Homo-oligomer: A and B are copies of this chain.
Amino acid sequence: MADLPPPPDIVRSAFAELVVTDLAEARRWWVDLLGFVVTAQDATALYLRGYDELTHHNLVLRSGPAAALGALAFRVRSADDLARAEAFYGALGCRTERVPAGVTRGIGEQVRAEDPLGFTVSFFASAEHPQRLQQRYDLRRGAEVARLDHFNICVPDVPLAYAHYSSLGFGLSETIEDGQTLYAAWMYRKQTVHDVAFTGGAGPRLHHLGFFAHEPHSVLRMCDILGSTGEYQYIERGPGRHGVSNAFYVYLRDPDGHRMEVYTSDYYTGDPDHPVLRWSVLDPRRRDFWGHAVVPSWYSEASPVLDLDGKVVPTSQIEQVAESTVRVGADGFTIAPGE
């Protein structure tokens, strides 16, 4: 990839678009239960943000016939980076398109591309600033999500995803690996553990959207609320402490099966020589620091992704040893393949 033109200067993962099959039910789940802030709503879409977010939204829920990921949107530093994104993906042979300002409500002009991993990615430089709600504790509800933290995507070839995002200027914070295989990787632009992470599996699929909360209390409270309303089936995995990232977490599934994570308390990664933390795939603490086994659905299920035309992108099977096959021993803990 040495001859690529310079990549856009990506600031951070900024928002995602999810297709949901029942917008009213999605609003009940994301807004009434989880407590997301509604920036705007129209007939076919909801624009949601966390309490700290100072751009228009972190999540667009768009009504559609089948659950899917529409796009992963990254904020770039300046308008010039849109042309850089176009050139960069063009040089990779990827289809791109310009989306005029306002087509996505609250967002300036975008460049969208079908990236080499099969995902529709979007780049934008400007966005509307909504009302600042950071210190409106009187309004906080549910998981009290502050902002989007990261995208986690399923890819059949983790090293390929790693190489692609390296070429986009992402830094590497942590990995799961062994001598032969890179099972998973966490990469960042903003100064946190990640803006994007890769989970080996059939892809392209969206594994989950990670949202930042300020306190472990919010993670526990969200689970208590779902117990109260009898909707505990939406709690898929956790709460727990991650080995990778050291964050406290819970994974939820929305009524369409989209996975989201409430995530808190990771660490600063802004130093230029920030050291990579490499976890052995044989360490049962890598995914849960308390050694709890990962539920099978967490490894196997994920959301399909749409191309620029809104068609579902066919998935390819995993091309490497799957972490989940390494992991499961009779006791639920890691065993080496072939052991």
Chain B residues whose C-beta falls within 8 Å of the C-beta of A54 in the assembled complex:
271, 274-275
**CB distance B191 to A228 under 8 Å?**
no
Minimum C-beta distance from A137 to chain B (A): 4
Interface residues of A in 208-239 (CB under 8 A from B): 214-217, 220-221, 223-230, 232-233, 235, 239
With A129-B275, A246-B134 in contact, is A270–B224 under 8 Å at CB? no
Q: Which A residues are closer than 8 A to B by beta carbons?
A: 11-12, 33, 52, 54-55, 75, 77-78, 125-126, 129, 132, 134-139, 146-147, 190-191, 214-217, 220-221, 223-230, 232-233, 235, 239, 241, 243, 246, 248, 265, 267-268, 270-275, 277, 284-285, 289-292
Q: How far is the CA of A248 from the CA of B239 in the complex (A)?
A: 12
Bound Cα distance from A229 to B290, whole angstroms: 10
- Of the A-B pairs whose beta carbons lie under 8 Å apart in the complex, a sample of 28, sorted by A's number, is A11-B272, A12-B270, A12-B271, A33-B138, A52-B268, A54-B274, A54-B275, A125-B272, A126-B273, A129-B275, A135-B224, A135-B228, A135-B243, A136-B228, A137-B224, A137-B225, A139-B228, A147-B268, A190-B268, A214-B265, A215-B215, A216-B220, A220-B241, A220-B248, A223-B241, A227-B290, A230-B285, A235-B292
Q: How far is the CB of A61 from chain B (nearest CB, A)?
A: 21
Minimal beta-carbon separation of A247 from chain B (angstroms): 10
The answer to whether A135 and B227 have CB atoms under 8 Å apart is yes
CB distance from A269 to the nearest CB of B (A): 9
| Neighbouring B residues of A291 by C-beta, 8 Å | 227, 232-233, 235
**A275 and B147 within 8 A (CB):** no
Bound-state Cα–Cα, A217 to B140, Å: 14
15 extra interface residue pairs, beta carbon distance < 8 Å, beyond A54-B271, A137-B225, A227-B243: A77-B272, A125-B272, A132-B275, A134-B267, A138-B228, A146-B267, A190-B191, A190-B268, A215-B265, A217-B217, A220-B248, A226-B290, A227-B289, A232-B285, A235-B292
Taking the full assembly, how many copies of this chain does it contain?
Answer: 4
Residues of B within 8 A of A146 (CB): 267
Nearest chain B residue, comparing its CB with the CB of A272: B77
Contacts of A138 in B (CB 8 A): 33, 225, 228-229
**Complex: chain B residue closest to A235, CB-CB:** B290
Residues of B contacting A290 in the complex (Cβ-Cβ under 8 angstroms): 223-224, 226-227, 232, 235
- From residue A279, how far is it (CB to closest CB) to chain B in Å? 11
Contact: A137 with B75, CB < 8 Å? no
Using known A-B contacts A220-B248, A223-B241, A241-B224, determine if residue A132 contacts B277 with beta carbons closer than 8 Å: yes
